[in-house]
């Protein structure tokens, strides 16, 4: 058994990768896809990691002008909370949004934000995860969760303190 301790202060990609791997390892059908073809599905798998359990589930914004969103009036200076986790499960955008599908394509998630608030580190996070995912599965093809992962006790930035893996 190997216990991996994740430091969420390092980068969002640590949490994105950890959250996605735990979710995939909890689903035998998705684990089988990774075991059989991690290199072939790396790009779609990483996007699904970001959609399914994004490391940032909420951010706050301040309205710079009076506006209306979904029939709700928002006044200039008023704060709103945008729920990325909820938006990434929008049934009007995603087919079977509560299901993890590592082959989902297209996948218009907003796990990295959008518009002028799009994450500047997104290309680096994608690169880090695209190298790590196939390397991990090639080295440990029989990998599975050894015990229940321990989540950090936070709401906004989601991730795990530790994940025990047997290989």
**What residue segments make up the domains of the chain, in order of their start?**
2-166
Angle between helix axes 12-25 and 28-37 (nearest 10 degrees) is 110
Which pTM value belongs to this model?
Answer: 0.88
Query: Is residue 18 classed exposed, middle or buried when 0-12, 13-18 and 19+ CB atoms within 10 A define those classes?
Result: buried
How far the first Cα of the chain sits from its last, in Å, is: 7
- CATH number for domain 2-166, candidates 2.40.40.20, 2.60.40.10, 3.60.15.10, 1.10.630.10: 1.10.630.10
Q: Average of pLDDT values for 10-38? A: 90
What percent of the chain clears pLDDT 70, i.e. is strictly above it? 93
Q: Decide: helix, strand or coil at residue 46.
A: helix
pLDDT tens-digit series, residues 92-147? 999 999 999 999 999 999 999 888 888 888 999 999 999 999 999 999 999 999 99
Q: Is the pLDDT of residue 11 over 90?
A: no
Q: Are 17 and 163 in contact (CB under 8 A)?
A: no
């Amino acid at each position: 058994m190997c216990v991996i301790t994740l430091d969420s202060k390092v980068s969002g990609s640590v949490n994105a990768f950890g959250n996605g791997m735990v979710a995939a390892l909890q689903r035998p059908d998705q684990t089988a896809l990774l075991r059989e073809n991690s290199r072939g599905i790396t790009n779609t798998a990483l996007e699904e990691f970001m959609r399914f359990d994004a490391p940032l589930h909420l951010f706050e914004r301040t309205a710079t002008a009076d506006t209306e969103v979904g029939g709700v009036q928002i006044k200039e200076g008023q704060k709103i909370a945008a729920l990325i986790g909820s938006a990434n499960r929008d049934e009007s955008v995603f087919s079977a949004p509560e299901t993890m599908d590592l082959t989902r394509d297209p996948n218009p998630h907003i796990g990295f934000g959008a518009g002028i608030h799009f994450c500047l580190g997104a290309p680096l996070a994608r690169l880090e995860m695209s190298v790590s995912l196939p390397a991990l599965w090639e080295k440990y093809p029989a990998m599975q969760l050894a015990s229940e992962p321990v989540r950090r006790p936070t709401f906004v930035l989601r991730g795990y303190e530790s994940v025990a893996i047997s290989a």
